[in-house]
């Protein structure tokens, strides 16, 4: 576990995460009545491996491979002025594009909703999906915009003084969800 | 990073970060995102005291693709021709709320002066100062080299130019492009050979991180890339070589010389070209030439620089 965590609390282990992803996959299929025209777009960094896992789960259930892409939203954010310019991550849409597709955006944590707002703006530049939905592993509340997820792996009631870290084995060596304390800037 | 004045201010990691950012931006453009909202509400001023077509257009397009407001200020036909000093122009731009100033000036050090005198808070980007530096040209050249000499984007990301042999041919003395390129190529791990007549080599070049040669033919077979510099007739108030014909015969890149380059080697030229002087039209238009790619890459690299300098909070 990262040393920077302060009073860490593990709220989900690797089995919990696998079960949540499996359930998300089933819900997506049930809700969309199949996987036709489905495209999964992960938001870097942790949304991308999550999207691949959902795609794998859906392939196991339906027997068809689901295209997966990566959508970096950095240049579309509304809070760019608040921090130093971030390194850009990979944007790679599936070769068949997103026009007329059912796009499910995948991210690890839904918090303020600003990342998703930026993602919707980014999508606009690349094409016109028929439907856009959102799947997240964790919904921790505290929305700042009228945005909600269609599929939620785990609802985690948190205070804004806390931080939620999703670790995914492809990037972090293991799967777990950790809540740790963050010192408030203006207590 | 708040300003980009000289390649000397960049670490190897900074330089690679700029190239990688350009790589990401290229991928976005290729996939259809031609206009990005990143610099909406920011003002970029092009302050050009010296003639320029491609650098000015390139910066203008880069800023517009990032949705910045762009003002172009050319010395000709402006208050400068009425005698306004650089300081007063800077104070004017400060009052107008410029976030970035792209400056080209005939005096070496002009960009540095703007950045460090406190006249203006904006991020300063050097677009060529006298015979000193032209850092974005060097960055776009390295970006072009990296792209041409690697297999794909995945391989290019994070990479330098380690072990690559680059020849820079011609008027090194007057060339800020050469100066910036030698520094950057060296920083990225490339081996640089500068080639030209002794009269067009600056004093003290033996202390620069490059090899110096006075003949082109012996160098050709080992080069991965050759960069032909423009013969800058407007800066030549003395006699540096006997005649254009002789220069062309001794150092010009023609078909026969190009055929002695390794199979994979590419030809660069920062433009504008004197076709028939430092490079023949045939070579400039050949499959080895990446000259038009350099122009396209220039826009992307300048977008990367603008994003990294003024896209975020500059208090880093």
Whether B142 and B273 map to the same domain: the answer is yes
B21, B32, B316: residue with CB nearest A88: B21
pLDDT in tens, A141-164: 999 999 999 999 999 999 999 999
- H helical segments located in B48-97: 54-65, 86-95
**Residue B58 falls inside a structural domain:** yes
Contacts of B287 (CB under 8 A, 6+ apart): none
- How much is the pLDDT for A183? 56
**Residue B316 falls inside a structural domain:** no
**Residue B201 falls inside a structural domain:** yes
Bridge partner residues of A166 (DSSP): A177
Whether B90 and B144 map to the same domain: the answer is no
B136 as an active site residue: the answer is no
Q: Residue A186 — pLDDT band, cuts 50, 70, 90?
A: very low
Cα–Cα dist B308/B298, whole Å: 15
- How much is the pLDDT for B181? 98
Bond prior to A45 in cis (omega within 30° of 0): yes
**Residue B2 falls inside a structural domain:** no
Asked if residue B134 lies in contact with residue B184, where contact means CB atoms within 8 angstroms, the answer is: no
Domain ranges of chain A: 15-79+90-156
Whether B111 and B186 map to the same domain: the answer is no
**Residue B121 falls inside a structural domain:** yes
Whether B125 and B142 map to the same domain: the answer is no
Q: Report pTM.
A: 0.93
Q: How far is CA B239 from CA A3, A110, B173, B288, in A?
A: 66, 69, 13, 32
B186 as an active site residue: the answer is no
Bridge partner residues of B166 (DSSP): B192, B225
Task: Please tell me the number of Cα atoms within 13 Å of A66 on its side-chain side.
Answer: 29
Asked if residue A118 lies in contact with residue A76, where contact means CB atoms within 8 angstroms, the answer is: yes
B134 as an active site residue: the answer is yes
**Residue B222 falls inside a structural domain:** yes
Asked if residue A39 lies in contact with residue A88, where contact means CB atoms within 8 angstroms, the answer is: no
Cα–Cα dist B195/B39, whole Å: 41
- Whether B236 shows a pLDDT value over 90: the answer reads no
Residue to test with chain A: of B16, B23, B25, B31, most A Cβ within 10 A? B31
Q: Could you tell me if A121 lies within 8 Å of chain B, comparing CB atoms?
A: yes
For residue B11, count CB atoms less than 10 angstroms from its CB and return exposed for 0-12, middle for 13-18, buried for 19 or more: exposed
**Residue B83 falls inside a structural domain:** yes
Bond prior to B272 in cis (omega within 30° of 0): yes
**Nearest Cα residue to A115 out of A26, A44, A48, A53:** A44
B292 as an active site residue: the answer is no
Q: What is the mean pLDDT of residues B49-75?
A: 93
Q: Could you tell me if B15 lies within 8 Å of chain A, comparing CB atoms?
A: no
- Whether A11 shows a pLDDT value over 80: the answer reads yes
Q: What is the ipTM of this complex?
A: 0.89
Residue to test with chain B: of A67, A83, A88, most B Cβ within 10 A? A88
Whether B105 and B165 map to the same domain: the answer is no
- How much is the pLDDT for B302? 98
Whether B103 and B214 map to the same domain: the answer is no
**Residue B200 falls inside a structural domain:** yes
Whether B126 and B194 map to the same domain: the answer is no
Whether B118 and B140 map to the same domain: the answer is no
Asked if residue B165 lies in contact with residue B39, where contact means CB atoms within 8 angstroms, the answer is: no
List phi, psi (to 5°) of B126.
Answer: -80, 120
Residues 56-85 of A with CB under 8 A from B: 72, 75-76, 80-85
Q: Concatenate the DSSP letters of all residues of A45-111 into one string.
A: TTHHHHHHHHHHHHHHHHSS---EEE---GGG-S-GGGSPPPPP---B--TT-STT-EEEEEEEEES
B24 as an active site residue: the answer is no
For residue B159, count CB atoms less than 10 angstroms from its CB and return exposed for 0-12, middle for 13-18, buried for 19 or more: middle
Domain range enclosing B214: 135-290
Bridge partner residues of B244 (DSSP): none
A149 SS3 class: coil
What is the CATH number assigned to the segment(s) A15-79+90-156? 3.40.50.2020
- How much is the pLDDT for B145? 97
Whether B20 and B145 map to the same domain: the answer is no
Average pLDDT of chain B is 93
Q: Could you tell me if A96 lies within 8 Å of chain B, comparing CB atoms?
A: no
Q: What is the mean pLDDT of residues A33-56?
A: 97
User: Do A88 and B17 make contact, defined as CB atoms within 8 angstroms?
Assistant: no
Whether B140 and B253 map to the same domain: the answer is yes
Cα–Cα dist B233/B277, whole Å: 11
**Nearest Cα residue to A19 out of A176, A132, A129, A153:** A153
Cα–Cα dist B219/B203, whole Å: 22
Q: Could you tell me if A89 lies within 8 Å of chain B, comparing CB atoms?
A: yes
What is the total count of domains within chain B?
2
**Nearest Cα residue to B153 out of B264, B30, B32, B20:** B20
pLDDT in tens, A75-130: 999 989 888 899 999 999 999 999 999 999 999 999 999 999 999 999 999 999 99
Q: Could you tell me if A126 lies within 8 Å of chain B, comparing CB atoms?
A: yes
B88 SS3 class: helix
Contacts of A10 (CB under 8 A, 6+ apart): A176, A177, A178
pLDDT above 70: percentage of residues in chain B:
97
- How much is the pLDDT for B259? 97
Whether B158 and B281 map to the same domain: the answer is yes
- How much is the pLDDT for B315? 47
Whether B102 and B178 map to the same domain: the answer is no
């Amino acid at each position: 576990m990262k040393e920077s965590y302060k009073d860490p609390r593990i709220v989900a282990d690797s089995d919990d995460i696998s079960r949540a992803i499996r359930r998300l996959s089933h819900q997506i299929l049930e809700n969309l009545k199949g996987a036709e025209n489905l495209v999964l777009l992960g938001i870097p960094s942790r949304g991308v491996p999550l999207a691949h896992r959902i795609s794998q789960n859906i392939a196991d259930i339906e027997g068809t491979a689901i295209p997966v892409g990566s959508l970096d939203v950095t240049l579309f954010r509304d809070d760019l002025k608040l921090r130093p310019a971030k390194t850009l991550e990979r944007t790679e849409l599936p070769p068949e594009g997103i026009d007329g597709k059912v796009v499910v955006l995948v991210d690890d944590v839904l918090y303020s909703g600003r990342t998703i707002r930026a993602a919707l703006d980014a999508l606009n530049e690349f094409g016109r999906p028929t439907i856009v939905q959102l799947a997240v592993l964790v919904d921790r509340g505290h929305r700042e915009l009228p945005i909600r997820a269609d599929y939620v792996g785990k609802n985690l009631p948190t205070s804004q003084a806390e931080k939620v870290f999703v670790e995914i084995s492809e990037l972090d060596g293991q799967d777990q969800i950790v809540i740790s304390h963050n010192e408030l800037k203006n207590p | 990073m708040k300003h980009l004045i000289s390649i000397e201010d960049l670490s190897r990691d900074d330089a690679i970060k700029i190239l990688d950012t350009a790589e990401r931006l290229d991928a976005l453009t290729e996939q259809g995102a031609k206009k990005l909202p990143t610099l909406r509400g920011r003002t970029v001023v092009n302050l050009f005291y010296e003639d320029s077509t491609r650098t000015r257009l390139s910066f203008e397009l880069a800023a517009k693709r990032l949705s910045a407001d762009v003002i172009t200020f050319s010395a000709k036909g402006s208050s400068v021709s009425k005698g306004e000093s650089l300081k007063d122009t800077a104070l004017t731009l400060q009052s107008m709320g410029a976030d970035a100033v792209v400056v080209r000036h005939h005096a070496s050090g002009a960009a540095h002066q703007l950045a460090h005198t406190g006249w203006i808070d904006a991020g300063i980007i050097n677009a060529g100062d006298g015979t000193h530096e032209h850092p974005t040209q060097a960055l776009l050249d390295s970006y072009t080299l990296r792209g041409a000499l690697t297999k794909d984007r995945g391989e290019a990301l994070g990479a330098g130019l380690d072990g690559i042999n680059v020849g820079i041919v011609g008027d090194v003395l007057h060339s800020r492009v050469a100066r910036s390129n030698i520094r950057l190529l060296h920083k990225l791990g490339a081996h640089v050979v500068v080639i030209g007549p002794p009269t067009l080599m600056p004093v003290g070049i033996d202390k620069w991180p490059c090899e110096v040669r006075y003949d082109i033919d012996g160098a050709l077979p080992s080069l991965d890339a050759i960069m032909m510099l423009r013969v800058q007739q407007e800066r030549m108030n003395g006699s540096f070589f006997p005649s254009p014909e002789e220069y062309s015969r001794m150092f010009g890149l023609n078909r026969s010389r190009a055929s002695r380059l390794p199979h994979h080697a590419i030809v660069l030229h920062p433009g504008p070209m004197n076709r028939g002087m430092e490079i023949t039209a045939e070579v400039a238009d050949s499959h080895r030439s990446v000259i038009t790619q350099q122009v396209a890459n220039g826009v992307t690299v300048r977008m990367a620089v603008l994003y990294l300098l003024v896209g975020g909070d500059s208090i880093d």
